[in-house]
Structure 1
């Protein structure tokens, strides 16, 4: 890692219009070379609108199978559209703010899906929040990280990243996961793997504080720790580097960004509402297949994080492993730090208990993930070996979720 001066210089030179508050030049293009303004020809513009129409027509009705299939299709399309528009906004503001925008957008979708499933699931839905949050942690810390490391290492032999930034992010993930998913299994104030009311409030406030502290460090205090790094073949370490203009389209203009903000909000409403419509079908399908209820949480997390996974892999292919880690660990931090407080607030009006504590098998998987991740991140360099370790851990999680 280079000196702080080098990192700040690199950050300062990155995308002048976006960084320094200046407006883009007249006639600038948005991401994917779309003219600045309303992206009328993109499917991501019309799918959220169509999803809202479907939501309005189907709300409060008993929908037949073909209609539920249509709702499921527009639900998935809305998720992809929401992440696309979050990426447009992220491209405008640049790293590491961009990863933050993506993580928050994904978390809003996740919270909406969890709340809607819990609202209609009754007492059997008590573990949906825990299962989804834990699945998000395993997908991000093992699935996304492992796949990104493997892709980067295959292309470049060794994946390089900033150990200071990635290590701090991993420590935050571990702290949040332990406080919200491990401690409820050992507290004695409430029977079962649940927090008491006071403990739940403390965990929610502490999670928000940890998340806010991480965001402040990532975007203000030590922003250069989270910028992509440049290689030094002669062995001089790595330094933060600005975006490569040859690999990235110009950032979108202001009007394109604001259209994406509007469509992102529409897509989020569509996702949450349509999730309510299809939630009974998802639960019935899992029950009919004879699968554990925890699979519902895995399905939610996989759907929500699929576009995030693609974004991380694309970054890894461009030898920008730090961006991949920002996306992975940032999503995990947001998933816990924002989801748990939101679910804690929603539990005031949701009926039934809120089970957050993990079982013995998942505790072992979480501990193993923390150890392997620390050994991966600390050197600031990783090979395909580390990628394979994380992917095997992720495979073990999926298999044991289906066959506990």
Structure 2
């Protein structure tokens, strides 16, 4: 073991995922009391912060936009596992979990993460700058995937209710995978420069270790393993506390969709923190890569996986959005387009996105 890796074993970011993994193993399948839920919550927070650190280590090694892609795909893959686990054996009670979680992820990323990042970047530099070409293409991909998978089921007539028929669900799954694959190819190969951070003319040199030597290969592999462990722990611990959340939601008389919102918020915490830290470093394009990339991965990977899992899952699969959520989706698409087209944004755009996000959260609790 190299000296650099030995040094890593002495850092809290190394032990936090391990402790969270142990807590997950001990608490799995147990009926947790109030104190145990509080301990699980602390372990969850530590795993989130550790995931952000290790994602940044990997991003520094592989460069943008690959670094953003690593975190987005890793979180989404495990998010799929969480949704399938929650829906297994749940019947009609969990028929809307996939829709609620995916839509919550879209609203959190496109309004919450984008708005907060714009706010932080504009407060620090007055104007946030980014590549309109890359961000616009990513936004178009989000809107297309969201419309094809979450809006169309409400209007199709082959199956009663806001559901796809088997053929329609298969087409939607294949189309989502194809569009996602095309986006990844454009982002990482053909037009990679569209997704790189914008350098300000005459601006101050970047700080916070931006020009530090990249981590060694062993350190990168170490961080990759710990990142995966941290993400598994985040999703697993979120599932452990979800019964407490469900009981609280039910006792408060709130809609079932609130469960999906709360779980999506917890799962997307690593990306949120990473995006805000990138915005503080005047790397707004990295923040947008994380936000829109996570939304694209959330739809492009979740819907095909759920479509495949629906073969053995009991109960219906409701994907179509209601009228209120469709209005919020359209508003998000229009405002986001007006934000990314100029390639520059101020506090106003950040505040508008956060207002839409606040409206989504409020209407989730009070539809």
Q: Normalising to structure 1: TM-score of the pair?
A: 0.84
Q: Deviations over 1:278-301 (max 9, x none)?
A: 332221121112211111111111
Task: Out of 87-96 and 326-335, give the one that drifted further.
Answer: 87-96
The alpha-carbon deviation at position 190 of structure 1 amounts to 1.2
Partner of 2:310: 347
Partner of 1:306: 269
Q: Distance in 1 between matches of 2:236 and 2:127?
A: 44
| Residues 217 and 223, structure 1, Cα contact 8 Å, conserved in 2 | yes
Q: Which of 1 and 2 has greater Rg? A: 1
The alpha-carbon deviation at position 311 of structure 1 amounts to 1.6
The alpha-carbon deviation at position 245 of structure 1 amounts to 8.6
The alpha-carbon deviation at position 322 of structure 1 amounts to 1.0
Q: Distance in 1 between matches of 2:175 and 2:230?
A: 30
The alpha-carbon deviation at position 391 of structure 1 amounts to 1.2
Give the one of 387, 393, 398 matched to 2:350: 387
Q: Give unmatched runs, 5+ long, in structure 1.
A: 1-26, 28-33
Partner of 1:191: 160
The alpha-carbon deviation at position 214 of structure 1 amounts to 0.5
- Determine helix, strand or coil for the equivalent of 2:88: helix
| Residues 47 and 77, structure 1, Cα contact 8 Å, conserved in 2 | yes
| Residues 89 and 314, structure 2, Cα contact 8 Å, conserved in 1 | no
Q: Distance in 1 between matches of 2:84 and 2:144?
A: 24
Partner of 2:195: 226
| Residues 119 and 347, structure 2, Cα contact 8 Å, conserved in 1 | yes
Q: Does residue 250 of structure 2 align to residue 287 of structure 1?
A: yes
Give the one of 352, 361, 367 matched to 1:398: 361
Q: Distance in 2 between matches of 1:246 and 1:258?
A: 20
- Determine helix, strand or coil for the equivalent of 1:230: coil
Give the one of 74, 85, 109 matched to 1:116: 85
Count of equivalent residues: 365
| Residues 152 and 316, structure 1, Cα contact 8 Å, conserved in 2 | yes
The alpha-carbon deviation at position 38 of structure 1 amounts to 6.3
- Compute the RMSD of aligned alpha carbons: 2.3
Q: Give unmatched runs, 5+ long, in structure 2.
A: none
Task: Out of 36-45 and 247-256, give the one that drifted further.
Answer: 36-45
Q: Normalising to structure 2: TM-score of the pair?
A: 0.92
Q: Distance in 1 between matches of 2:137 and 2:259?
A: 31
Q: Distance in 1 between matches of 2:191 and 2:253?
A: 49
Partner of 1:24: none
Aligned pairs (5 A) from 1:305-324: 305-324=268-287
Partner of 2:14: 45
Q: Distance in 1 between matches of 2:151 and 2:43?
A: 36
Task: Out of 142-151 and 93-102, give the one that drifted further.
Answer: 142-151
Q: Distance in 1 between matches of 2:75 and 2:42?
A: 18
* Structure 1 residues 63 and 398: alpha-carbon distance in aligned structure 2, compared to 1, 3 A threshold: closer
* Structure 1 residues 293 and 270: alpha-carbon distance in aligned structure 2, compared to 1, 3 A threshold: same
The alpha-carbon deviation at position 205 of structure 1 amounts to 1.0
Aligned pairs (5 A) from 1:202-217: 202-217=171-186
